[in-house]
Structure 1
Amino acid sequence: MIIEEIIGNVKNSGAPTTHVERVYLRSDELVKKVQRVKTDHGKELGIRLKSGKELLDGDILYQDEKNAIVISVIEDDVLVIQPTNLLQMGDIAHQLGNRHLPAQFENEEMIVQYDYLVEKLLQDLDIPFVRENRKMKEAFKHIGHSHD
């Protein structure tokens, strides 16, 4: 079976009332337009999205009267940075920006994928953070850039 479009998302339309199979993906796999995946019941699928849309946690790939196939994102190992003031936020944002490290923001937190060098930097700068496994709403995206 080849999936070319997303039917909907369980967060908007509610969980399917049918038998649900899950496709577990890492957050970095959400941006792939073409991929081969397997459900938790062993069914193989091809995903070839026509639009420029990226996959999201809860996306419904297939649904009929009896069955549904839904995307579930695997938790990422992340550093959740919790600066206590604007100076700390500016300092760490500048440091991570120089490394071209992708970040996401939720509420008052800056979230980056775990890296032992970033963990050491945060300790050295005395910026509060926690390391945790968290299901990210979208993929960490690297932005191409050079210093030419």
Structure 2
Amino acid sequence: MLRVTSFIPAQEAFDSPTSTVVLPHADRHLRRKLLHLTDGEMVMLDLKEAVLFADGDRLVLDNGDQVEVKAAEERLYQVTPKDTQHLLELAWHMGNRHLPAQIELNRILIARDPVIRTMLEGLGAEVSEVVEPFQPVRGAYHSHGGHGHS
């Protein structure tokens, strides 16, 4: 079985991948795991510390091949603000609750949660259900390394 020896952030990956692993956001924070690739193969990921992988990051195998990490489609809420100021206010409320959020120019994507939906609609946002890949903004403590609040 091939093993992952290192990784390459998406913005630094230039070679074509030989395979792909598709993972939802919650399963992309990894240190040690047996990964099932889309071609049916398996590889062992065993890193010194946990890494939060993004869509497009590459896992480098011990034979030199690269496996691309792809964000799985997930059941999400699309939060549509009235305007830019409203988007900023909604993002603040979500951040205050430590919600993973994919923030774009005209919308915010978050995991489905009926309580949060009610809050956002009460704040004047339009909330609709979508299914698409989820790539939340990496938090201040989650780059490609560990997590800490010290």
- 1:64-103 matches, within 5 Å, as 68-85=66-83, 88-89=86-87, 91-103=89-101
Q: 1:13 is matched by which residue type in structure 2?
A: F
**Deviation of the 1:73 alpha carbon:** 1.6
Higher-Rg member (1/2): 1
Identity %: 19
Q: How does 1:1-148 map to 2 (within 5 A)?
A: 1-7=2-8, 9=10, 12-13=13-14, 15-16=16-17, 20-50=18-48, 53-62=51-60, 68-85=66-83, 88-89=86-87, 91-138=89-136
What SS does the corresponding residue of 2:54 show, helix, strand or coil?
coil
- Count residues in correspondence: 142
Instruction: Output one character per residue of 1:15-73: Cα deviation in whole Å (capped at 9) or x when no partner.
Output: 34xxx3321211122221222211123322111234665322223324769x6532222
TM-score normalised according to structure 1 size: 0.68
Between stretches 38-47 and 67-76, larger displacement belongs to 67-76
So what's the TM-score if we normalise by structure 2? 0.68
SS of 2:26's equivalent?
helix
Task: Indicate the larger mover: 102-111 or 131-140.
Answer: 131-140
Say whether the 8 Å CA contact 2:58–2:66 is kept in structure 1: yes
Q: Distance in 2 between matches of 1:56 and 1:78?
A: 17
What do you get for the CA RMSD once the two structures are aligned?
3.7
